[in-house]
Structure 1
Amino acid sequence: MAKQKKDDNFLLYIPRKKHLTFEKRDGKIYLIFYHNKPIEKFLRWLVKKPAVSDIELDGLGSRVWELIDGENTVYDIGQKLLEEFGKEAEPVYERLIMYLRYLNRRGWIAFERGKQE
């Protein structure tokens, strides 16, 4: 994550996708993971796991993933979620920030410091 200064507004940060292998099925986003590193291959053989796995994002999570386009700020994404999901998304910014930080900790997105006005 970009180094956040004390007077920065996190809502003006711009999330960017780092994990680029995903697909949309039945209106939901699936993040695709290939397990082809040598240690992963060995562990896969040991426990009989597939070479490819995926994670299904729920409806709200899928929409957030679609809105992460490198231009929308956290604030913009929250506003679009409110327009589309209404009360179902409430409290939108608390949930959105927690979700984006989770995606960031997993290494699937990164943040760029937006214009702090």
Structure 2
Amino acid sequence: MEELLDAIPRRNEKVQLKKINGKYYLLIPMESPLDFLARLIHGKYRRIELDEIGAEVWMLCDGKRKVREIGEILERKFGERVKPTNERLVTFLLSLYRRGLISFWREKE
């Protein structure tokens, strides 16, 4: 876990965060030719709904902050609602990573 806390997450630039009717969504473009039918039914984007904390995490994945710094910001802003912070944050970030929505990099020492 320590290695992940020192990693720096960066958003996929093709994915957008939008607030629609009071809810937050990640809009993921469907660009593959295999997405043809899904585009006909759902439009240009797949949507993933995020809560307020998830939206905040997304905005903080700017390629400048380490995961541990994002956790500290979340604790200051949301307090007990995010505890246990590091475990929840890493789990969420890994789910975004597996979907290709973020990448991780490390500073050169």
Q: Same fold (TM over 0.5)?
A: yes
Select the residue among 4, 16, 19 that pairs with 1:22: 16
> What is the TM-score with the length of structure 2 in the denominator?
0.82
Cα shift readout 1:39-82 (whole Å, capped 9, x = no counterpart):
221x338xx61223322211110010011111010010000000
Q: Secondary structure at the match of 2:28?
A: strand
Q: Pairwise mapping of residues 36-51 of structure 1 onto structure 2 (< 5 A)? A: 36-41=31-36, 43-44=37-38, 49-51=41-43
CA distance in 1, matches of 2:94, 2:12: 14
Does the 8 A contact of 2:9 with 2:61 survive in 1?
A: yes
Q: How many residues align?
A: 106
> Alpha carbons of 1:39 and 1:115: their partners in 2 closer, same or farther (altered >3 Å)?
closer
Name 1:32's counterpart in structure 2.
27
TM-score (norm 1): 0.77
Structure 2: 5+ residue runs without aligned partners? none
Which residue identity is paired with 1:77? I
- Note closer, same or farther for the CA distance 1:36–1:20 as it changes in structure 2 (3 Å cut): closer
* Structure 2 residue corresponding to 1:10, chosen from 4, 11, 17: 4
| Contact persistence 1:18–1:108 (CA under 8 A) | yes
Number of the residue aligned with 1:59: 52
Unmatched segments (≥5 aa) in structure 1: 1-7
- Structure 1 pair 36/11, CA: closer, same or farther in 2 (3 Å)? closer
Change (3 A) 1:36 1:112: closer
- Quote the RMSD (CA, aligned, Å): 2.3
SS in structure 1 at match of 2:104? strand
